[in-house]
Amino acid sequence: MTHEPYIGIAAMAFPGNHLGEERVYEKYEEMKNALKQNQEARWLPGDYIAMSRQEVQQIGKELHTGNPDAILVVLTTFVPDYFLVDLIDRCDVPVFLWAVDKEIGALTLVGGVLVTGALHSLHKHYTLEVADIGDTDTEQKLLKFARAAMLYGRMKNMAIGVSAGKNNIMMSMAWDEFAVKRTLGINLENIPIEEFYQTASLVPECEVEDYWEKIRGQIGLCDVEKIDGLLASRYYLAARRLTEHYCLAGYSINCFPELKSQICLAVARLNDDLIAAGCEGDLHSTIVMCLLEHLAGKAAFNGDFLKLYKEENSILFSHCGAGAFSLAKDRSEVMLRKSIETCDGCAICYATYARGSYTIANLMNKEDGMHLYVLNGDAVHTDLEYEGTPLKIAFSRDVSGILQDVVQQGAGHHWSGVQGDYRKELEILCGFTGMEFHDLTVESC
């Protein structure tokens, strides 16, 4: 799974009106040369320059074959709006319009505003920026837009497994399968828990033993009963088989009240495999983890609001012990212990290692649709004050105010996160899907 968006680049000009259309080739090469230095995206190969409706239609067909996540359209002059309509008819992906602002007589902004009027009426996904070629701020906006488009496209072909149903003591986490499909495009693969147990029973004993010994050799401390470690290993191997069989991008297993800490190792290791897995049957947090893992290309964190440190203006997030091994500073810091809740099983314990910008998000389904809540702050040092996988984040605004926004707006208690600031990508994605976006990093009005 790559986390870099795949972007097609096409340039357009309108001939016959003395707009400088002859420079379209020069500007196209200049734009490609400026962008190819950026390693945060993959660029669709080929030259796509259109000065007529027929050329636009042919380019649309060729771009469709390349299967990009988004298209950058470089407007070098005023162009008719049907140029873009024809392009998207043949390659219907989000479009980033870059009106090159070097010569005012080229009327690129005039054409850009004309084009967006048509795209808006046709309910297409687009944005317009006006800047000279090489403008770094616009390049960053392009990358954020393209990453959101990447998520939007992938969700349409994404399946997430669900086993053991909904959590019977956490009503606010209940999901609506039709809402998930209608809003996000994600398919849910309902896997009976009996199939999970059956798959687990068929894993050969020698494979289970080998995996358990491998795990013990990768970590620092192992303080669990062997029988619990073997069962946890068996459940991971079963979950891995099911994700491969059903081609899953994520797997939500309700561990409450039966499985509990027996499934923590499976959840942790699936996320290390970049197969999103949340806790306690919270499908929504599994979806968020999946999106974040696709954005960052690394395992996502999942935890609860656990403690406010008002004097430090920070919040401790943690869960009881199902964090991906890769989120520890070093494998030697990973400990396997009996669960603090059940005094058995195989729970993962370490202080989550992260520094600098960190984005955490929460997804809720409400009567008026799906809502995505995000927070961004700086991950700072923490210790094992709590027996789990704690992560401490310092914020620029008062943490008591953050808490009040969370509870007054009805955000949930499971928050998933990754290193970096991905708020803009998530905001754009919400615009594509119709989800309500809430940035609680800034004080609510």
- Residue 214 main-chain phi, psi, to 5 deg: -60, -45
- CA atoms within a 13 Å half-sphere pointing along the CA-CB vector of 401: 13
Nearest by Cα to 231 from 276, 200, 269: 200
The pLDDT, as a whole number, for residue 227 is: 96
Which CATH number does the domain 159-439 belong to among 3.40.50, 3.30.160, 3.20.14, 1.10.10?
3.20.14
Q: Do the beta carbons of residue 12 and residue 115 sit within 8 Å?
A: no
Q: Which of left, alpha, beta for 443 (phi over 0: left; psi -120 to 50: alpha)? A: beta
The pLDDT, as a whole number, for residue 169 is: 74
pLDDT mean by block of 10 residues, the chain; 445 residues? 90 93 95 92 95 98 98 97 97 98 88 97 97 96 98 96 85 90 97 97 98 96 96 98 98 88 95 95 96 97 95 94 95 93 90 97 96 98 89 96 95 95 98 98 77
The pLDDT, as a whole number, for residue 445 is: 53
Identical topology for domains 6-155 and 159-439: no
- Residue 187 main-chain phi, psi, to 5 deg: -90, 135
Q: Do the beta carbons of residue 376 and residue 441 sit within 8 Å?
A: yes
**Domain 6-155 -> CATH class:** alpha beta
Q: Report domain extents, the chain.
A: 6-155, 159-439
Query: How far is 11 from 314, CA to CA, in rounded Å?
Result: 47
Non-local CB neighbours of 98 within 8 Å, separated by 6+ positions = 31, 72, 73, 74, 75, 129, 130, 131, 138, 142
In DSSP notation, 322-352 reads ---GGGBSSGGG-EEE--TTTS-S-EEE--B
The pLDDT, as a whole number, for residue 1 is: 61
